[in-house]
């Protein structure tokens, strides 16, 4: 295990009716004027918007609001949010929604406190040194942004989807009521499941040795997520299953499963090119790419994939042919993605083969010529992974 620092100050308020504590949490955070940020309107349909604004009013907390954060949130709304938040003198940013609303809110929180262009943080020209405090009411377990340091934004004009991060962007609090996820379309639930599983794979697939505790935590989380996802397919309002998925989404990405080990993140980089170009759902892109990435890198460490197959995907042990066991694990993972309604080929997901050069061009802009730590990849390797995922 490598040395590490882990700082996770978010207060998680979890369970039925958890959003009733919002006003109290804002008062406790010293919020005087809240910048309320959300997505395309699901929170209005579900009535959550009314409940949130009611709890602000009850505590006499002033607020302004800006909705419209799209899935794969874009820079233009962040600029608009920064201006509005500054002009209104808000001192706290509250995101209500999924990863997109939260990421957009985080970028606004950092941008408000910075004199230059907020994109500098995503370009590597500046690091985040100040940010307004962020709070979250989560409606979609997937990205894990409610507990993570990260924000991922797309610069539309250049088609660049990039992430940046800072401990300053970890939410002060995150309210997670599993019942708020009952209204999710199955597609979003399933994409969220793939995303959280992928956040675990990005940590599990490592060359760091002697990380048995985090390995086992990863495996247990994967098993629990798959079990709960299967329940939700037949019973979308199964509270316990929704609760498992909600908490798994958070711990999959708040960093606890990655401490002491080298993390990977190549498949996320490959996927961000898909969601930038096609506005593809992030989890759907990952469902297509992860089995291909695993197959491509299998020989780097058959033992690691053997462990994943036997401990997480239930493949029986066979010490005489570990590679076959590892392959069966990847096949089962793909089967699970199909079972929950996710695409597993680029063709199915709506990509076009003639776009591969474009995907590789932006990948090069974002990651350079060589990337990855588990296996050092060149752009030619990335091309092969896209090709393997084609059909």
Check residue 99 for interaction with ligand NZQ (CB under 6 A).
yes
Cα–chain center distance at 41: 20
Q: Which is nearer to ligand NZQ, 90 or 276 (CB)?
A: 276
Min dist. Cβ of residue 195 to ligand NZQ (A) = 6
Cα 29 to Cα 22, 23, 91, 104, 338: the distances in Å are 11, 10, 10, 20, 43
Min dist. Cβ of residue 97 to ligand NZQ (A) = 5
Which residues touch 157 (CB under 8 Å, ≥6 apart)?
none
Closest CA to 147 of 89, 216, 221, 199: 199
39 binds, among Zn ion, ligand NZQ, none (CB under 5 to 8 A by kind): ligand NZQ
Report whether 287 contacts 343 (CB < 8 A): yes
181 binds, among ligand NZQ, Zn ion, none (CB under 5 to 8 A by kind): ligand NZQ
The alpha-helical segments, DSSP class H, found in the chain are: 22-28, 42-45, 48-58, 75-87, 99-112, 120-123, 186-204, 212-234, 239-251, 266-278, 282-297, 302-311, 322-339, 346-349, 356-367, 379-388
Report whether 153 contacts 74 (CB < 8 A): yes
Q: What would the two tokens of residue 160 be?
A: 């660049």
Near ligand NZQ by CB under 6 A: residue from 181, 221, 266, 267 = 181
Min dist. Cβ of residue 98 to Zn ion (A) = 12
Report whether 246 contacts 185 (CB < 8 A): no
Maximum distance among all alpha carbons in the chain? 68
Min dist. Cβ of residue 195 to Zn ion (A) = 4
139 binds, among ligand NZQ, Zn ion, none (CB under 5 to 8 A by kind): ligand NZQ
Count residues near Zn ion (CB under 5 A). Answer: 1
Check residue 140 for interaction with ligand NZQ (CB under 6 A).
yes
Check residue 142 for interaction with ligand NZQ (CB under 6 A).
yes
Check residue 148 for interaction with ligand NZQ (CB under 6 A).
yes
Check residue 328 for interaction with Zn ion (CB under 5 A).
no
Min dist. Cβ of residue 212 to Zn ion (A) = 25
192 binds, among Zn ion, ligand NZQ, none (CB under 5 to 8 A by kind): ligand NZQ
Near ligand NZQ by CB under 6 A: residue from 145, 206, 244, 297 = 145
Q: What would the two tokens of residue 247 be?
A: 């908490």
The pairing of strands 150-155 and 92-97 is: unpaired
Min dist. Cβ of residue 331 to Zn ion (A) = 23
- Name which of residues 188 to 247 contact ligand NZQ (CB under 6 A): 188, 192, 195
Listed ranges 191-199, 238-246, 329-337, 354-362: which one lies at the site for Zn ion (CB under 5 A) = 191-199
Near Zn ion by CB under 5 A: residue from 75, 103, 146, 195 = 195
As a whole number of angstroms, the distance between CA 220 and CA 259 comes to 16
Which residues touch 147 (CB under 8 Å, ≥6 apart)?
8, 10, 12, 170, 171, 174, 250, 251, 253, 254
Check residue 202 for interaction with Zn ion (CB under 5 A).
no
Check residue 257 for interaction with ligand NZQ (CB under 6 A).
no
Check residue 219 for interaction with Zn ion (CB under 5 A).
no
Judged by the rule CB under 5 A, the positions of this chain that interact with Zn ion are 195
Judged by the rule CB under 6 A, the positions of this chain that interact with ligand NZQ are 39-43, 71-72, 97-101, 103, 139-140, 142-145, 148, 150-152, 180-181, 183-184, 188, 192, 195, 253, 268, 275, 282
């Amino acid at each position: 295990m490598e040395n590490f620092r882990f700082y996770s100050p978010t207060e998680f308020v979890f369970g039925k009716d958890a959003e009733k504590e919002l006003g109290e949490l804002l008062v406790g955070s010293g919020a005087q004027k809240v910048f309320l940020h959300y997505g395309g309107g699901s929170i209005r349909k579900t009535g959550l918007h009314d409940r949130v604004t009611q709890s602000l009013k009850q505590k006499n907390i002033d607020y302004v609001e800006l909705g419209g954060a799209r899935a794969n949130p874009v820079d233009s709304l962040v600029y608009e949010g920064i201006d509005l938040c500054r002009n209104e003198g808000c001192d706290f940013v509250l995101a209500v929604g999924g990863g997109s609303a939260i990421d957009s809110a985080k970028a606004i929180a950092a941008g408000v406190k910075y004199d230059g262009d907020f994109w500098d943080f995503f370009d590597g020209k500046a690091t985040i040194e100040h940010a307004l405090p962020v709070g979250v009411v989560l409606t979609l377990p997937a990205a894990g942004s409610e507990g993570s340091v990260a924000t991922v934004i797309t610069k539309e004009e250049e088609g660049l989807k990039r992430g940046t991060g800072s401990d300053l962007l970890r939410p002060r609090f995150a309210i997670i009521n599993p019942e708020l996820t009952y209204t999710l379309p199955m597609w979003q639930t399933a994409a969220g499941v793939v995303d959280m599983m992928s956040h675990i794979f990005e940590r599990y697939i490592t060359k760091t040795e002697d990380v048995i505790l985090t390995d086992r935590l990863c495996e247990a989380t994967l098993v629990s997520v798959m079990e709960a996802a299967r329940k939700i397919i037949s019973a979308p309002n199964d509270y316990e299953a929704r609760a498992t998925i909600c908490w798994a989404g958070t711990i999959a990405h708040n960093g606890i499963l990655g401490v002491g080990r080298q993390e990977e993140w190549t498949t996320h980089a490959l996927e961000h090119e898909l969601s930038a170009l096609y506005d593809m759902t992030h989890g759907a892109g990952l469902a297509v790419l992860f089995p291909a990435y695993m197959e491509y890198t299998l020989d780097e460490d058959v033992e690691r994939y053997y462990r994943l197959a036997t401990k997480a995907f239930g493949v029986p042990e066979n010490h005489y042919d570990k590679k076959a066991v590892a392959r069966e694990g990847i096949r089962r993972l793909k089967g699970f993605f199909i079972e929950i309604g996710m695409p597993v080929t680029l063709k199915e997901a709506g990509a076009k083969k003639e776009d591969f050069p474009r995907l590789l061009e932006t990948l090069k802009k974002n990651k350079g010529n060589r990337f990855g730590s588990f296996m050092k990849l060149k752009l030619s390797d990335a091309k092969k992974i896209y090709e393997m995922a084609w059909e």
